[in-house]
Structure formats: C-alpha cells, structure tokens
C-alpha cells in the first residue's frame, strides 16, 4: 500500500454533530452543573474542599487568602477559570444560601440583600469543623477512589466520603444542557433521623420518611404553605413548594401600625429584597392601597427587618394578603431533584436519594474498616514479633554479633538457617535453628531500639498489642455482621447530629390562598392635566376652579379636561395607535407638581410618537371621530369601536406607507358642516363633510384631496355654511369663504400671496 494513501471515512454531518453535541451535553451535566447524589457536590465544590484540605486549612488553623485557594484549585484540579471557583467558594460560606455552611469565610462574603463578595485578594477562608468531620475525615482510609487530574500530574478523589445526605441538607441549583437541578435545603437533624430510619427498615415508604423529614428547611426561614402537596413532591422528585415570608405586627409612633417582615422566602435572597420594596412602592403609587405610609429596610447582622408603616385605621390582615398576592413575599420554589447517580443524571424521589446515600455509606464503611483491619493486622504481626523477640533477646544479639550482613540475620530469623553465623556455643546454634519469625517481624526486630528492652516499654507494648487485638475483633465484627455495620453507621450519624444539628427554621402548614380585597373607590370628578412633554396628573375640581385662568393661559397645562377618578383616558398618536390609561394610575397632585410621564403608564414612545388627540374614553366611545392623515386620507369612525376593556394599546387606524395621522376630531353636527384642507405647498380645498364616509377603525379611509408630489396636509379647518372665520396665511388675512366650495378628491386651489 502506498504510504501517501490515507483512510477516508465518510459520515453524515448531522450524525457527527449529534454525537458531538450529546458528548458536550453529558460533559456539562456530569462535570460541571449537576451534583453527585453520593456527596451532594458539584465537581468545582468537591475540588475546592479537597484542595483546602490538602493546604491544611482546618478549622483550628489560621485563615488563608481566598486567592491562594482559588489559584491552587485551578492549577491542580479545576482548569475552568478563577471566577467559577471563587463563586463556588463564596456560596459554600454563605449561611443564607446553605443549610450548613462548608467554608468558614473571613471578610466580606456578600449579604442576603445581594451585595457581592469582596475580591478574592481581600477575603480569607478555612474549612468548617463540620466539613472536616462529615466530608473529609476518612479520605486517608481508602474509602473512595482517586483519579488523575486534568493533566495527570495529581490525584483527586472521585467523590468525597460524605457521611450525611448532603444533597438534601444543602440542596443544589444548577443549569446544564437540556436539564436543570433545583433541590431545596433540609434540616440536618431531620435528614439524619430519616436515614437512620431507612437503615433500620429499608422497606420504609416515602410517607414514613416524612415522619422525620417534614419538608424543606430554608436558611432564610419563612413559611411553607402547601404541606399537603409535599408527599407527592417527595415521591416524584418534582413539584412546586409555596413559601411565604414572615410578618409581625408592631406598634409605631403616634398609634400607627407597623408590619415588620422578619423572614423572607428563600427565592428573595439577593436583589429580591430591593425588588420587594420597589413593588410595595408601586402598590402605593398605583393606589392599590392608601394605607401604607412608608417602607424602610432596617436589616442588619441580627437578621431581616423590613418595616412597613401603616395608617392607624389600616386593615393589617388585608394588607398582609396584598403583600402576599402582589409581591414576591409569597413565591414558589420549583423542585427538580436531579442528580448524578451511577454516572448518569436522574430525577430521584426522597426515598431513592436516601437509599443511594445509604448504599454509599455501606461502601464507605466497608472500605474503611477493611483498610483499618489490614493495618491493625499488620501492626499485630509486628507487635507479636517484638514481644517474642524480647524473650529471646540474648540469642538474637548473639546471632547479630556472629553474622556478617543483614541478609544472613534475616534468613536465620525467618527460616532458622544458621549457615555463616558464628555462635558462642553449640547450644545457641541449636536454639537459633528454631527461629520462625515472619519477614516483617524480622525487619522490625532489626530496627528495634534498645529502649524497648526496658520493663515498662515491654509492658506498654503488651498493652498496645491487646488493644490491637481488640480493634481487629471489632473491625471483623463490623465487616462480617450486617447488624454491627448498621450500628456503626447509625452511631456515626448520631455523633454528627449531636454536634452540628440545628433547630428547624421554616414552618410548614397548609395556608389559604392570600386574597386581597380592594377598598371600593369613592367616585369623584377630577381634571386630567398634561403638559407638552407628556407629564400627566390629576387635580381636584376645587383647585381647578380657583386657578382656572392660570391653567387656561399657561403652556404647562396643554391638555386639560374633566374626567372621573375611576375612568380612563384615551391618547391617539400620529402612528395610528390609541393608548389607554387608567385615571387612578395618575397621581392626584397640587397645581404645580410635575406628574408622571405617560411613558411609564403605557407603551407610548416619546421618541417616535406625538400626541394627536386626548380625551376621556367615555366621551370618545360616545362620539363619532373624524380622522385625517398627512396624505389627505379621511374617514369617520364610530367611537364605540374603541370600547375595549382589556388592552392598554389599540390600533386606531391603518396608515399607508409613509403616512401618519394629522388630526382627529370629535364630530359636532351643528358646526362641522364643511372641511377646509390646507397643504404645505399652498393648495386649499373646501367641501362638505357629508362626502366623508364612515369606516371601520382598521380601514385606511378615502382620499380627501389629490396632493402634488411631496406635498402634505398642513392645516385642517372645520366650519358651517355661514362661518366668516379669517385665518392668517403668509402674513396676510384670508377669509375661509374665499376658497370656493368644491367636491372631495380635487386638486384644490393654489393661493398666491
């Protein structure tokens, strides 16, 4: 075969892409985003904790800079960037994120209100005592397999020998490719008791386990309100947990009532607190409630304290329901208990999770006590040899003195071969021939110090040997008898529970859905006021009457009309759109207050739209509207077509390419008998209004005037037959009646000055 020839394999591009993407997805799932059910840790968390252990950052040692920890972890085990490692380290130290913190942070590690941690060069960390005891203690006892790191220069544990179901205790959140995990944290004491119950009775049901695990236990406290749905969630591993913050009532100054939020939903940690306060302010501004006077965040290191000051006569129960129903003070936590089990992602129920961890505990303890038994057996062998050697020390010394090298002595001690050894007597040689030490014992005898011959040392050696034999018997008992293994595992769990358990923080109940009853609004007349910049507000009638002349002459009051505080305002724009806003969304202000931009209450875009016509929606609906565009398209539209209740933005008319609305007018049959159009090019046309047909709002309309190329409508005048109105045109006075009456769709008359 020619060496230049190559093997070319034909394959479908789609097949290659599919396989590559599946490989990538599984890599993200297994190696990045989804925790292992055995230790409840993602790879970055596992590697960070192991590296801290290797650096000797125990709970009784000084703190070490986080930059050192991150750099060491990245260089040895996790080559995915320092930010991901530091973020994982920070989260493991935040007591408002984890059921049990795994890292003891020193410095600014962020806050529950969303403040980020300081840079890693400023913060320090070390392991928590809990982490040492429950996560890392038995790494040196061959409990787990070690695998090569990314460049095969180091070894790292495939999984940590975690003694508690950390997947439940600390929960987990992660997004992979095509799947995500979201497991709530649980109470350590309850989880330990549930695992002990499973060890005693592997046939226990999910409901039986829930006698111990009542439900999630969030570090932020709060109240779970759908207790009856938890059994189904724990059976399937998926569902939604409803959580509420906790509100206490207190008395404020001047007899005012205070609603104090002392615990928040777990989902509100971070920027959610600021969002909650903003939402409460919006409720006040939108007049959902008038009982709230002020809100302040008085939270500190002692805990959450958000104070809502209310009026004396406020219905606090109704206000609580308002907060629960309209803000994130009541929220849902989506549960999807997905983890890596036997190397594959799997959504698991409560019993399956505990079963998987219990099997892991049996494996850990089997490997641990097998390793300990081997070490104790080897120690016993050496001890037996040394004790025996003490009784024969004179003969051993004589053998040593008569030998030429170490190998000769070892051969004699293990086999009784005296060849090449000079003894003082024939009797000594005969006794030496009875030596039958093991090789390990022989080496230990040769390495033994003379101090071992002291009586007290020998007595201590005998006691140590007795302890070794006792340990061997204990380890054999644990390995050979399942009942003994169960007792040992339960004892380990009890020890961790007694030292590190905490009281439950989250209450669990079945609460009724929060229903807020809005107080009926007393209907009253108000004046809508808006300036040319789109800042709108309302003023009461008394204020309007006192300042009527000022309002009518001031440009700041461009749009003014009477409406109801329970009504709606319609705003037509040049783009052919009608924006509808509720009057109650507008602030009731004093005369010179600025108001609120229309942009904030609707989809009006001041950069693209101009106001064409604004009025109370009741009047709009009851009227006939005349539409005219810049390109002289006209029509009547029945206002009833705009009587919509659900939409805030409505298409008011269809427009041709490059066209826009020029004017909308409510038709007045007593006055509007004729219409006169004026173009930018100086053409005028006057015709009877009766020539304009009524169309649907979605119609373009009919042509009112034939425009010259590039010409557009500049002004529109409505008049009756006897109207003697005079307009100013190019600096001269011109009566409207000088434009002769003609038919619609003419070219009009060119007026020259």
Spatial separation of the C-alpha atoms in residues 137 and 209, rounded to whole Å: 28
CA distances from 585 to 250, 367, 580 (A): 30, 69, 11
Q: What is the pLDDT of residue 1?
A: 45
- Which pLDDT score, from 0 to 100, does residue 369 have? 95
Q: Which of 414, 408, 416, 454 is nearest to 433 (CA)?
A: 416
User: Which class is 359-500 in CATH?
Assistant: mainly alpha
Instruction: Give the SS3 label for residue 609.
Output: coil
pLDDT at 248 (0 to 100): 94
CA distance 537 to 534: 10
DSSP state of 99: S
Cite the DSSP H helix spans in 286-425. Answer: 316-326, 350-391, 393-402, 406-415
- Number of Cβ within a 10 Å radius of residue 151: 9
Query: What pLDDT does residue 575 have?
Result: 93
Q: E-assigned strands of 499-558?
A: 507-508, 525-530, 535-540
pLDDT (tens digit per residue) in 720-747: 877 788 888 888 888 888 888 999 999 9
Task: Show me where the domains of the chain are located.
Answer: 41-161, 246-328, 359-500
Of the pLDDT bands very low, low, confident and very high (cuts 50, 70, 90), residue 371 is: very high
Rounded to the nearest integer, the mean pLDDT of the chain is: 89
Q: Answer with the residue of higher pLDDT: 185 or 552.
A: 185
Looking at residue 19, what is its pLDDT? 66
Mean pLDDT of 456-470: 86
Let me know if 369 is a catalytic residue. Answer: no
| Confidence band for 5, pLDDT divided at 50, 70 and 90 | low
Alpha carbon 218 to chain centroid, angstroms: 14
Sheet strands (E) in 111-169:
124-127, 146-148, 155-157
Q: Give the tokens for residue 188.
A: 């350590």
Kindly report the pTM of this predicted structure: 0.73
Structure tokens at 585: 């969304």
Check residue 478 and give its pLDDT. Answer: 94
Q: Alpha helix locations (H) across 164-215?
A: 166-169, 188-200, 206-209
Mean pLDDT of 9-18: 72
Write out the DSSP string of 139-179: GGGT-S-EEE-TTSSSEEESS---SS-HHHHT-EEEE-SS-
Say if residue 588's pLDDT is above 90.
no
pLDDT at 502 over 90: yes
3-state secondary structure (DSSP) of residue 560: strand
The residue whose two tokens read 């000051």 is 309
Average pLDDT over residues 174-196: 88
Q: Is the pLDDT of residue 138 over 70?
A: yes
**The residue count for the chain:** 753
Query: Which is more confident, 25 or 281?
Result: 281
Residue (of 338, 274, 337) closest to 306 by Cα position: 274
Sheet holding 559-564, edge to edge: 559-564, 525-530, 535-540, 596-597
pLDDT score at 591: 83
DSSP string, 215-262: S---TT--EE-BGGGHHHHHHHSEEEEEEE-EEEEEE-GGG-EEEEEE
| Selection from 169, 277, 174, 267 nearest residue 221 by Cα | 267
Residue 469: both structure tokens together: 């034999």
Per-residue model confidence (pLDDT) at position 600: 85
Mean pLDDT throughout 633-645? 91
Please choose, from the candidates 233, 121, 113, the residue with its C-alpha nearest in 3D space to the C-alpha of residue 184: 233
CB atoms inside a 10 Å sphere around CB 42: 21
What is the bridge-based pairing of β-strands 624-629 and 633-638?
A: antiparallel
Do residues 634 and 705 make contact, with C-beta atoms less than 8 angstroms apart?
no
Q: Are strands 180-183 and 223-224 parallel, antiparallel or unpaired?
A: unpaired
- Among the listed residues 122, 266, 535, 717, the single catalytic one is 122
pLDDT of residue 357: 96
Q: How far apart are CA 736 and CA 623, in angstroms?
A: 26
Least confident of 9-13, 267-271, 373-377: 9-13
For residue 455, is pLDDT > 90?
no
Angle between helix 350-391 and 455-480 (nearest 10):
150
Q: How confident is the model at residue 623 (pLDDT cuts 50, 70, 90)?
A: very high
- Residue with structure tokens 């002595």? 409
What sections of 666-737 are H helices per DSSP? none
For residue 704, give both structure tokens: 């009112």
> Using CA atoms, how far apart are residues 96 and 301, in angstroms rounded to an integer?
12
Provide the pLDDT for residue 423. 86
Give tens-digit pLDDT for 382-432: 988 888 888 888 888 888 888 888 998 889 989 988 888 888 888 888 888
Burial class of residue 530, CB neighbours in 10 A (0-12, 13-18, 19+): buried
User: Does residue 650 register a pLDDT over 70?
Assistant: yes
pLDDT band with cut points at 50, 70 and 90 for residue 445: confident
User: In this structure, which CATH number among 2.60.40.1120, 3.30.70.1230, 3.30.1360.40, 1.10.10.10 belongs to the domain 246-328?
Assistant: 3.30.1360.40
The three-state secondary structure class of 104 is: strand
In this structure, whether the domain defined by 41-161 belongs to CATH 3.90.199.10 is answered with yes
Buried b (16+ CB within 10 A) or exposed e, 300-324: eeeebebbbbbeeebbeebbbbbbb
Q: DSSP 3-state assignment of 37?
A: coil
Q: Nearest Cα to 677, choosing from 741, 581, 732?
A: 741
Taking the alpha carbons at both ends of the chain, their separation in whole angstroms is: 99
The whole-number pLDDT of residue 418 equals 86
DSSP string covering 398-430: HHHHH-SSHHHHHHHHHH---TT---SSHHHHH
Token readout for 171 is 């929960």
pLDDT of 17 reads 73
The alpha carbons of the chain give a radius of gyration, in whole angstroms, of 43
pLDDT above 70 for 543: yes
């Amino acid at each position: 075969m020619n060496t230049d020839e190559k093997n070319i394999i034909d394959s479908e591009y789609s097949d290659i892409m599919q396989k590559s993407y599946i490989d990538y997805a599984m890599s993200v799932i297994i190696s990045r985003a989804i925790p292992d059910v055995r230790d409840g840790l993602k790879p970055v968390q596992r590697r960070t904790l192991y590296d801290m252990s290797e650096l000797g950052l125990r709970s009784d040692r000084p703190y070490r800079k986080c930059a050192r920890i991150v750099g060491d972890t990245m260089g040895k085990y996790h080559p995915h960037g320092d930010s991901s490692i530091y973020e994982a380290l920070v989260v493991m130290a935040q007591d408002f994120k984890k059921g049990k913190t795994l890292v003891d942070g020193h410095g600014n590690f962020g806050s529950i209100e969303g403040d980020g941690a300081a840079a890693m060069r400023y913060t320090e960390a070390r392991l928590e005592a809990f982490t040492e005891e429950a996560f890392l203690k038995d790494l040196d006892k061959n409990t787990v397999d070690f695998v090569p790191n990314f460049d095969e220069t180091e070894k790292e544990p495939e999984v940590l020998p975690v003694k508690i179901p950390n997947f439940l205790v600390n929960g987990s959140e992660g997004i992979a490719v095509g799947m995500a995990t979201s497991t709530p944290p649980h109470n350590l004491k309850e989880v330990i008791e549930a695992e002990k119950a499973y060890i005693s009775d592997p046939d226990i049901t999910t409901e039986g386990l829930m006698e111990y695990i009542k439900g999630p236990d969030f570090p932020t406290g709060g109240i779970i309100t759908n207790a009856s749905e938890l059994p189904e969630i724990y059976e399937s591993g998926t569902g939604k947990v409803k959580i509420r913050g906790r509100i206490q009532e207190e008395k404020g100054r001047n007899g005012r009532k205070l609603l104090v939020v002392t615990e928040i939903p777990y989902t509100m940690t971070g920027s959610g607190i600021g969002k909650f306060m903003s939402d409460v302010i919006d409720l006040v501004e939108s007049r959902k409630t008038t009982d709230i006077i002020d809100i302040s965040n008085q939270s500190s290191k002692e805990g959450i304290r958000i104070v809502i000051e209310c009026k004396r006569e406020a219905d606090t129960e109704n206000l609580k329901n308002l907060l629960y129903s309209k803000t994130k003070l009541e929220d849902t936590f989506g549960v999807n208990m997905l983890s890596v089990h036997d190397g594959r992602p799997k959504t698991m129920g409560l019993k399956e999770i505990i079963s998987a961890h219990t099997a892991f505990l049996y494996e850990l303890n089997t490997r641990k006590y097998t390793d300990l038994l081997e070490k104790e057996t080897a120690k016993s062998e050496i001890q037996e040899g040394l004790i025996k050697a003490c009784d024969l020390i004179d003969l051993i010394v004589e053998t040593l003195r008569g030998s030429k090298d170490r190998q000769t002595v070892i051969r004699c001690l293990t086999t009784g071969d005296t060849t090449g050894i000079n003894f003082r007597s024939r009797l000594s040689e005969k006794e030496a021939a009875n030596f039958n030490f093991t090789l390990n014992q022989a080496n230990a005898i040769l390495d033994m110090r003379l101090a071992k011959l002291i009586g007290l040392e020998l007595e201590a050696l005998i006691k140590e040997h007795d302890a070794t034999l006792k340990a061997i018997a204990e380890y054999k008992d644990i390995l050979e008898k399942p009942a003994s293994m169960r007792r040992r595992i339960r004892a380990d769990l009890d020890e961790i529970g007694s030292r590190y358990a905490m009281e439950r923080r989250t209450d669990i109940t079945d609460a009724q859905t929060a229903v807020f009853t809005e107080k009926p609004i007393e209907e009253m007349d108000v004046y809508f006021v808006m300036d040319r910049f789109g800042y709108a507000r309302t003023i009461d009638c008394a204020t309007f009457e006192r300042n009527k002349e000022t309002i009518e002459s001031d440009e700041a009051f461009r749009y003014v009309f009477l409406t109801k505080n329970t009504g709606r305002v319609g705003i037509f724009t040049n783009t052919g759109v009608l924006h509808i806003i509720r009057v109650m969304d507008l602030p009731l202000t004093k005369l010179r207050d600025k108001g609120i931009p229309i942009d904030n209450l609707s989809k009006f875009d001041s950069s693209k739209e101009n106001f064409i016509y604004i009025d109370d929606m009741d009047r709009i609906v009851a009227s006939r509207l005349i539409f005219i565009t810049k390109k002289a398209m006209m029509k009547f539209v029945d206002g009833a077509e705009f009587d919509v209740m659900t939409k805030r933005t409505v298409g008011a008319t269809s427009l041709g390419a490059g066209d826009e609305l020029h004017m909308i007018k409510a038709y007045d049959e007593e006055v509007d008998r004729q219409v006169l159009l004026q173009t930018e090019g100086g053409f005028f046309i006057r015709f009877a209004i009766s020539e304009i047909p009524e169309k649907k709002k979605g119609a373009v309309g009919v042509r009112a005037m034939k425009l010259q190329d590039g010409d557009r409508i500049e002004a529109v005048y409505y008049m009756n037959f006897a109207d003697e109105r005079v307009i100013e045109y190019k600096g001269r006075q011109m009566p409207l009646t000088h434009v002769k009456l003609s038919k619609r769709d003419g070219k009009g008359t060119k007026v020259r000055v």
